Amino acid sequence: MATVFVSNEASGETRVAATPETVRRMIAEGNSVAVAAGAGAGAHFPDEAYAAAGATIATDVAGAWAAADLVLKVNPPTPDEALRLKEGAVLASFLYPLSNLPAVGALASRKAVAFALDRVPRISRAQAMDALSSQASIAGYKAVLLAADHLPRVMPLMMTAAGTLTPARIVVLGAGVAGLQAIATAKRLGAVVEVSDVRSAAKEQVESLGARFISVEGAEDLSGAGGYAKEASEEFLRRQQIEVRKRIVAADAVITTALVPGRKAPRLVTSDMVRDMRPGSVIVDLAVEQGGNCEESEDGRVVTKHGVTIVGLRNLPGLVPVHASEVFSRNLLEVVRLLFPKGVRTVDLADEIIAGAVVTLEGTVRAPDVAEALAKAS
Point out the residues of the chain with pLDDT beneath 50: 223, 225, 227-228
Is 73 a member of any domain?
Answer: yes
Is 369 a member of any domain?
Answer: no
Name the catalytic one among 188, 228, 239, 345: 228
Considering the domain architecture, whether residues 145 and 226 belong to the same structural domain is answered as yes
Q: How many CA atoms lie within 13 A of 3 on its CB side?
A: 13
Give the model's pLDDT for residue 237: 72
Give the model's pLDDT for residue 36: 98
Is 370 a member of any domain?
Answer: no
Is 372 a member of any domain?
Answer: no
Domain of residue 250: give its range: 136-319
Considering the domain architecture, whether residues 269 and 339 belong to the same structural domain is answered as no
Domain count, the chain: 2
Name the catalytic one among 122, 169, 188, 212: 122
Annotation marks residue 50 as catalytic: no
Is 81 a member of any domain?
Answer: yes
Handedness of CA 336, 52, 81, 68 (dihedral sign): negative
136 neighbors 112 (Cβ within 8 angstroms): no
pTM over 0.75: yes
Amino acid found at 273 = M
Name the catalytic one among 130, 197, 252, 285: 130
d(CA 277, CA 124): 41
Considering the domain architecture, whether residues 188 and 98 belong to the same structural domain is answered as no
Give the model's pLDDT for residue 214: 92
Is 375 a member of any domain?
Answer: no
Annotation marks residue 118 as catalytic: no
Residue 277 sits in a domain whose CATH number is 3.40.50.720
Annotation marks residue 127 as catalytic: yes
Give the model's pLDDT for residue 29: 93
**DSSP assignment, residue 265?**
P
d(CA 272, CA 253): 16
Reported as a single tens digit per residue, the pLDDT across 20-61 is: 999 999 999 999 999 999 999 999 999 999 999 999 999 999
Local structure of 333: helix, strand or coil: helix
Considering the domain architecture, whether residues 169 and 111 belong to the same structural domain is answered as no
Amino acid found at 304 = T
Considering the domain architecture, whether residues 60 and 179 belong to the same structural domain is answered as no
